[in-house]
Structure 1
């Protein structure tokens, strides 16, 4: 594939992925606004506990084989068939295991309703196992439009089912129905869109190398997951399901939509970076451009959320959720810091550095767990502060670690991150200050004035040559998104 056609595929893939994730974020926000008024913090806290268990199982169920199959320079039909059956088999085993562990988990947590929820959500493992390689094939073939349509459709139908169930008095079962419906729709969608049906497993086609790569990714993801769930576990155990519900709602408002943008972008970045990994100039250019695109496009909204968390919580969740406002601000700051460092993860995967990623993650996970444990001694807000400090410490370490194991445009990444942080800090400070002038008018006025002031500040930054240069690069990339056919090299 030529340089221009690959760049075009990357840009178009980013466009479809952003559109899909923007729609999913809107649906997620709609879910928060509607369901938070129909359900209680206890309902959300109960589901949050179960999803911690589900999340651990999902790491084993995928076994890193999604990344392995996308990253592989060559993947035969036989290998693809074998990967499908491995993912499906693991999913079935985990579904059965989780079903029978429901009773012991109920005794451990002391929540009488949790066993039924666990048994119902055990089906997620099998559904997702069946869908894994279908979805990976679509990503590998750069069929991002199909993935976008599937994701939006699944999220929309699942939300509708949840709202109807909540309206009928299903309580936390409405959230269970939402999870299951989404997985069913995704499985049907990727199966139909891929036009591929696996044959039987055959030892003739070796997948040992893919499994070895996948194991490193599993080990890494387990560490990441442990670090990402330690806060949920500590809040639930130390402060109860109501506090956990508040904490979880703040998380859902920021980190979940953020993950819905960043994680699927891996499906665009990984196949593209894998194809240019031997071309140092193109690789460095793509990585630095990706950091700027993520940093500005996500950083400015995160800065606005940080500054305007109070009115956002009042408008979206209602008065009984006001204690979530400071937590929301802190999550937004953490989201910005992790976004700037996110391209490093793509570099590890695209260059097959699974083992290096694993050892790096051991260190950063230890940092995160330590920060959150210390923060937990100062209450729920203290936990959120620890959540912010961890990426502030880990981000410089990320670039240093990568520079020791692979060629990296380290200086350009540091400089780009510095510009992003300066711009977003100014946007946030001006937005907060402006919102205070209309605090007596109400939350809607605070939100409108704050957002307007923040966006004006971002526009003013374009008077500086360095930001104009970044802007031109991003505009060029956006134009490439909407270009219908790539030019020839």
Structure 2
């Protein structure tokens, strides 16, 4: 039996405040990003988005190498000395500088690969983001580790707003794809300037004798998995850009961004709170299980609510958000949104891998499955852009249960409960989406916004009916409504009754 924990109240309080602040920040971020999507889509062409997407698909690989999993390693570590933190800073900065030079050197070959000389200057401009992000990585990780989510959100949102404002101005004056390039560079530049002041520390010179092996081992396993995972998720963009050109990639890119907007804006803050909290609960299995089950309930219901509803009203949503010229994105978005549901379902497994230090196991899982994912998506290109999109969704559905199976016997977590809860939640929102879609068919002559309102009404009525007749879903809704009570109860010394593993 463990003794009463004096740190438990502090941890629960920090997690509760962190969740509230982080989600409030994400709501602001969602509003800013939605404004950017709506306004820029009316000022730029599909080919503008396609050109930048060609480079960003490659840039993302370097971003994973630049981080090298060391931000997650710093967050997950039980203890972190000042010397270790400084050494991690210099490692990330060095990797970022090296990648800036490498990517700049690949500008001409990349342009030749896609057959478009405009990509040379775009690649050179975007290569500097590696250096800037390498500089910022450990300041961001420090704020995350210490639950200073409000400061972190303020810095990120402020940079996002300024970068978007400048991008809109450039787009309005006819700068085309350079508006998107400027937005990317300015966002990371502004964060690099602000984050050291917000974090309140400055790295010392690299120190010998610091214990760094655990961080590098953790990061090495994670970065290998992240590279393969990123490749499997972005191979679709590379294939479409290479085989079908910038315009088709532009349609796919907007559909993909509409899907990942709610996915990332809900998953990212959830992980930002969940990982440091779960890492500190590794030795308390009951509290760990309660927290991850509760976190999954909130995340999945939020993601499913947004994505399922947007699938039902996708034609009207795309018309309102992007404009009539973006009609080809509708079927692509609907398929990708379904894929997003399965990706969200798999996120609790990802939390378990990282919070319990199972990065080697995670790498094995990724190494076995991702080559098949890449092959399936490439095969889908035989049926055009639509084939690539469907292949992406099929692989997302398959990866979810496989990722859970790889944890059996290795992780201390309620795996079966998490899987069944996710399956139940997706099924419920699929039924509600069907009801929403059917309700819009009754009013074909309404304006798009009015028809979306009808669809939302049908969606909410269906969910209310399901909650009334299906107790498990009703309990999920009530548990989300009582989120503050969850964190308040977690501060009670009931943890003293828990057995150590």
Which band: TM-score by shorter chain?
over 0.9
Matched with 1:360 is 365
For structure 1, the 5+ residue unaligned runs are none
* 8 Å CA contact 2:270, 2:299 repeated in 1: no
- Which residue among 180, 203, 208 is the counterpart of 1:203? 208
* Cα shift at 1:252: 0.9
**2:233 is aligned with 1:228:** yes
> Within 1, Cα distance between the matches of 2:391 and 2:7?
46
Q: In structure 2, what is the equivalent of residue 27 of structure 1? A: 32
Q: What residue in structure 2 maps to residue 176 of structure 1?
A: 181
Residue in 1 aligned with 2:497? none
Instruction: Tell me, in whole angstroms, the C-alpha distance in 2 between the residues paired with 1:339 and 1:364.
Output: 18
- Kindly provide the CA deviation profile for residues 324-363 of structure 1, in whole angstroms up to 9, marking residues without a partner as x: 1011111111111110110111111111111000011123
Q: Name the structure 2 match of 1:472.
A: 478
Tell me, yes or no, if structure 1 residue 372 matches structure 2 residue 377.
Answer: yes
Deviation string for 1:163-219 (max 9, x for gaps)?
011112111110011011110222223211110011101112131221111111110
Structure 2: tracts of 5 or more residues without a match: 1-5, 495-501
3-state SS in 2 of match to 1:304: helix
Residue aligned with 1:296, SS: helix
* Equivalence for 2:196: 191
Q: How many residue pairs get matched? A: 487
- Equivalent residue number for residue 273 of structure 2: 268
Give the match for residue 462 of structure 1. 467
Matched, 1:335 2:362: no
How many Å separate the matches in 2 of 1:48 and 1:385? 20
- Of residues 411, 423, 427, the one that matches 1:422 is 427
Does the 8 Å CA contact 2:292/2:348 hold for their aligned counterparts?
A: yes
- Worse-superposed segment, 105-114 or 88-97: 105-114
My pick for the range that moved more, 132-141 or 458-467, is 458-467
Matched, 1:442 2:456: no
Q: How does 1:55-66 map to 2 (within 5 A)?
A: 55-66=60-71
Distance (Å, rounded) in 2 between the aligned partners of 1:322 and 1:478: 42
SS of residue in 2 equivalent to 1:405: coil
1:299 corresponds to:
304
Q: 3-state SS of the aligned residue for 1:166?
A: helix
Structure 1 residue 5 displacement after superposition: 3.4
| Alignment-derived partner of residue 140 in structure 1 | 145
Say which SS state the counterpart of residue 74 (structure 1) adopts. Answer: coil
TM-aligned CA distance change 1:340 to 1:243, over 3 Å: same
Aligned to 1:72: 77
Cα separation, partners in 2 of 1:407 and 1:488, compared to 1, 3 Å: closer
CA distance in structure 1 between the partners assigned to 2:463 and 2:55 by the alignment: 41
Q: Deviations over 1:67-122 (max 9, x none)?
A: 11111111110000110011111111111222222122222221121111111111
Indicate which of 8, 13, 30 corresponds to 1:8: 13
- Aligned residues: CA RMSD: 1.7
The answer to whether the Cα contact below 8 Å between 1:309 and 1:325 also exists between their aligned partners in 2 is yes
| Distance in 2 (alpha carbons) for counterparts of 1:366 and 1:102 | 26
**2:264 matched to which residue of 1?**
259
